[in-house]
A and B are shown apart, each in its own frame.
Chain A
């Protein structure tokens, strides 16, 4: 057992090769997990609201008329791949000394996140164009509170990533950048999980 270093927090630990984060990462990462729990409650309540309002359509269109499974599927692929590329970025952070690999994977993640947002906004616009905006029915209100909120989270994740890349250029991969990337990683994978639920519960469930 002694060969395995004690984990300071759940998730990827940077381990003994990164002594500068020791002692700091435990509190920060645990705190961020707790924040994610709180955020998960927000999403959970919006899912519940959606489930309750699914049939409150006021004579308006329902999932079968509105959802484009092809687009949602491509969005899913984009976001799942972005979680993979972020995973590669985390490994680069842990094992590689080169800044280039890390930044490269982060840029790839941002591009995939951007692609996801681009497609999602297109979906929303076409719904609005077809007169299926949030003001049409309780069901659409619930849809437009839940799914775009996830999108806003993805957008803030991208802003955060951009800020960290600029920090890497400015300071190199120092302690604060490492701690930021660890937390951003949790955030990004969390959003992926939320999206998996959105895709299965809202899109697949709605079209089934």
Chain B
């Protein structure tokens, strides 16, 4: 064994994305090599431009001390969402290339089979683990502690470590564009196909370690959020006074605590099979891949509700806030959320009705699946009644929410159809299924997260997002979604299977062309979001909302400056009912200075998150490429850092009372010179974040 082999493992120049194209320049190799090389270049160029800009504006120190090592839940939440947007851009571009392939693949197309498989694997893996999960974790991180009147989450350093693990996983998926290949096994990575016997390359290993890093991070996030909600509520914030977004955050956290371990076990056992020759899921020596399928969906189905519940929470806040009314049916919404969370553990088998269990078992799981429709239906009615006779404003978040309420019901109907095992036998693994779950996850999760982004952005940065560009982008997403996925229902019923490179029946082609147009419209929506951000930053003076309450908010997070101070609240608010901020505004007591201020103890910055991020990434990279020295060294570095962290005693700092008072009085002074705006003018420049009192008639 040469020294080169020991140092670099199985890494060599042949793993570069343009190697095959240069050495075997067939037409297909050149097309696929060009696409892969462009993507690889985009990753490097993106990193280089970011680094250059940071250097140009001399922000490295700020980046390190105020962001990367910060343990404040607010910067951590924002960084999660930044990761989500970067990954969303990549996965959306991939979706467009796949749609391009499908529109023109009557008897061929331009992608190679291997390349196409990588596309749908990375698209799914990214959208679930590195777009939706970071996005919702970021939103909860930012909003939930403020909604319950807390200064931070229960375990701030662990929060930073969770972020580090997610970032390391995302970096691993990105680096796979430049070095080697990603998995071709789909986002669910079913063995035996993903076993070493059929897939000896690095692709599946990239997938295993990226997903494992992110699932560890999510498990820790779940613990952190749940303990925060249980233990850190401000005085008087009883459970039945929690804002609904916090309720959904709690249910999602509980799901994370119980549902991430099955994924860790599934990918861990698959890794043991691949690396150490175990026989869990192999074809021989007693292995049984059905165990993997069960383990994976024991995670996978609750995961669906991890993704959707926070979006339900956002919609609840959006409908209530932008109708100027308290939430209709609060108790039923809480019960429905909890019911969905519990039922989510009882339906995993519907992901493989066709894989061999008897009809009675299928029937039980089919009925359990249909049951979930009931609490979900309750929610939809509650949201509609919330708008009824409210002061409804068609702002961007409400437009997303309205589109959701219609499209999601359609998607739910197709879910009820699929829940019937005998129907599922006909349409499983077809484009009908693709249409169904995108119908749930795009209007459900993605629109919800984007609505939340628009609603809480002004709180985080002190200025609103540009309304017209936001509306453009929202309409693109909505129209694009309908065009991209409704044709797939038809194509699926006509028998077009999922994950298929090409077809030979011209009847599918018109549907696929419409779907491509839809994908392009969605891409325009993404471009709209980017333009909106740039325009909003440029016009931040005119969009500024320093008083902190641009939408006449109802819960505690609006009861502080925008952006909020590090400690969120100068004095912890005492809560006496639901919608505490609205109560205070109506009583005229919202903007009074408290009688006395106290010193506030806040956690100090810590580099632990970055250490785990960097060495976690290196350990995973070493595992992928068999660079064992790197694995050992990185693991030891993480263990040493954890032991060393136990020896740090100086972990907190005090913000003196006079400093808190100075900040608070400055905010109150801003409020006192701010002109209150009515709801009719809230998207006009006049809105500086102070709501005029108006009743909802």
Could you list which residues of chain A lie within 8 angstroms of chain B, going by C-beta atoms? 26-27, 30-31, 34-35, 37-39, 41-42, 45-46, 49, 52-53, 56-58, 60, 134-139, 141-142, 144-145, 159, 163-164, 166-167, 170-171, 174, 176, 180
> A58 contacts B291, CB within 8 Å?
no
Q: 14 A-B Cβ contacts within 8 A?
A: A27-B154, A30-B227, A30-B230, A34-B223, A35-B223, A37-B258, A41-B261, A49-B265, A49-B280, A49-B295, A141-B286, A145-B278, A159-B639, A167-B646
B249 to chain A, nearest CB (A): 15
Tell me whether B58 is interfacial, beta carbon within 8 Å: no
Contacts of B260 in A (CB 8 A): 38
> B278 contacts A134, CB within 8 Å?
yes
Which of B269-277, B349-357, B362-370, B475-483 lines the interface with chain A? B269-277
In the complex, residue of chain A having the shortest beta-carbon distance to the beta carbon of B259: A41
Interface of B is mostly: helix
B326 to chain A, nearest CB (A): 31
Tell me whether B226 is interfacial, beta carbon within 8 Å: yes
> B286 contacts A139, CB within 8 Å?
yes
Instruction: Produce 1/0 per residue, B611-651, CB < 8 A to A.
Output: 00000000000000000000000000001000100110100
Given A31-B155, A45-B261, A58 contacting B272 (CB threshold 8 A): no
Instruction: Produce 1/0 per residue, B393-433, CB < 8 A to A.
Output: 00000000000000000000000000000000000000000
B13 to chain A, nearest CB (A): 33
In the complex, residue of chain B having the shortest beta-carbon distance to the beta carbon of A37: B257
Q: Identify which of B260, B268, B286, B288 gathers the most chain A CB atoms within 10 Å of its CB.
A: B286
Given A138-B288, A159-B643, A45 contacting B265 (CB threshold 8 A): yes
B258 to chain A, nearest CB (A): 6
Complex: how many Å from CA A174 to CA B649? 10
In the complex, residue of chain B having the shortest beta-carbon distance to the beta carbon of A144: B278
Residues of B236-261 contacting chain A, CB below 8 A? 257-258, 260-261
> A38 contacts B261, CB within 8 Å?
yes
In the complex, residue of chain A having the shortest beta-carbon distance to the beta carbon of B261: A41
Q: Which of A37, A46, A56, A135 contacts B277 (CB 8 A)?
A: A135
Given A38-B219, A134-B278, A159-B643, A176 contacting B288 (CB threshold 8 A): no
Complex: how many Å from CA A39 to CA B298? 15
Q: Identify which of A34, A141, A174 gathers the most chain B CB atoms within 10 Å of its CB.
A: A141
Complex: how many Å from CA A34 to CA B298? 19
Contacts of B268 in A (CB 8 A): 145
Tell me whether B373 is interfacial, beta carbon within 8 Å: no
Contacts of B257 in A (CB 8 A): 34, 37-38
> A56 contacts B258, CB within 8 Å?
no
> A27 contacts B262, CB within 8 Å?
no
Q: Which of B231, B265, B279, B295 contacts A137 (CB 8 A)?
A: B279
Interface of A is mostly: helix
Complex: how many Å from CA A34 to CA B256? 11
B191 to chain A, nearest CB (A): 12
In the complex, residue of chain A having the shortest beta-carbon distance to the beta carbon of B260: A38
> B646 contacts A38, CB within 8 Å?
no
Contacts of A141 in B (CB 8 A): 269, 272-273, 278-280, 286-287
Given A31-B154, A176-B646, A176-B649, A138 contacting B287 (CB threshold 8 A): yes
> A52 contacts B291, CB within 8 Å?
yes
Instruction: Produce 1/0 per residue, B287-303, CB < 8 A to A.
Output: 11001000100100000
Complex: how many Å from CA A183 to CA B516? 55
Residues of B550-605 contacting chain A, CB below 8 A? none
Q: Which of B232, B272, B284, B647 contacts A134 (CB 8 A)?
A: B272
Tell me whether B264 is interfacial, beta carbon within 8 Å: yes
Contacts of A167 in B (CB 8 A): 646-647
In the complex, residue of chain B having the shortest beta-carbon distance to the beta carbon of A170: B647
Complex: how many Å from CA A42 to CA B285? 24
In the complex, residue of chain B having the shortest beta-carbon distance to the beta carbon of A134: B278
Given A45-B262, A45-B265, A171 contacting B286 (CB threshold 8 A): no
Given A38-B219, A38-B258, A53 contacting B272 (CB threshold 8 A): no
Complex: how many Å from CA A170 to CA B295? 45
Contacts of B230 in A (CB 8 A): 30
Complex: how many Å from CA A170 to CA B648? 11
Given A138-B280, A180-B646, A41 contacting B227 (CB threshold 8 A): no
Complex: how many Å from CA A38 to CA B219? 8
> A27 contacts B285, CB within 8 Å?
no
Apart from the given pairs A38-B261, A166-B647, A167-B647, 8 other A-B contacts in the complex at a CB distance below 8 Å: A30-B231, A37-B257, A49-B295, A53-B286, A134-B279, A137-B286, A142-B280, A176-B646
Complex: how many Å from CA A176 to CA B649? 8
Complex: how many Å from CA A60 to CA B232? 54
Q: Which of A49, A159, A166, A170 contacts B269 (CB 8 A)?
A: A49
Complex: how many Å from CA A38 to CA B221? 12
Contacts of B232 in A (CB 8 A): 27
Contacts of A138 in B (CB 8 A): 279-280, 285-288
Q: Identify which of A45, A135, A137, A159 gathers the most chain B CB atoms within 10 Å of its CB.
A: A45
Contacts of A56 in B (CB 8 A): 279, 285-288
In the complex, residue of chain A having the shortest beta-carbon distance to the beta carbon of B648: A176
B281 to chain A, nearest CB (A): 9
Complex: how many Å from CA A142 to CA B268? 12
Complex: how many Å from CA A41 to CA B279? 22
Chain A to chain B: the 8 pairs with minimum beta-carbon distance, closest first: A56-B286, A138-B286, A141-B278, A135-B277, A41-B261, A58-B285, A31-B227, A58-B286
> A42 contacts B265, CB within 8 Å?
yes
Complex: how many Å from CA A3 to CA B265? 46
Contacts of B298 in A (CB 8 A): 45
In the complex, residue of chain A having the shortest beta-carbon distance to the beta carbon of B278: A141
B361 to chain A, nearest CB (A): 16
> A135 contacts B278, CB within 8 Å?
yes
A98 to chain B, nearest CB (A): 22
Complex: how many Å from CA A58 to CA B278? 13
In the complex, residue of chain A having the shortest beta-carbon distance to the beta carbon of B224: A31
> B280 contacts A137, CB within 8 Å?
no
A52 to chain B, nearest CB (A): 6
Residues of B153-176 contacting chain A, CB below 8 A? 154-155
Complex: how many Å from CA A145 to CA B260? 18
A28 to chain B, nearest CB (A): 8
Contacts of B646 in A (CB 8 A): 163-164, 167, 176, 180
Contacts of B222 in A (CB 8 A): 38
Complex: how many Å from CA A108 to CA B258? 35
Complex: how many Å from CA A35 to CA B287? 30
B521 to chain A, nearest CB (A): 42
> A26 contacts B223, CB within 8 Å?
no
Complex: how many Å from CA A56 to CA B262? 21
A73 to chain B, nearest CB (A): 28
Contacts of B647 in A (CB 8 A): 163, 166-167, 170
Contacts of B278 in A (CB 8 A): 134-135, 141, 144-145
In the complex, residue of chain A having the shortest beta-carbon distance to the beta carbon of B285: A58
Contacts of A135 in B (CB 8 A): 276-279, 285
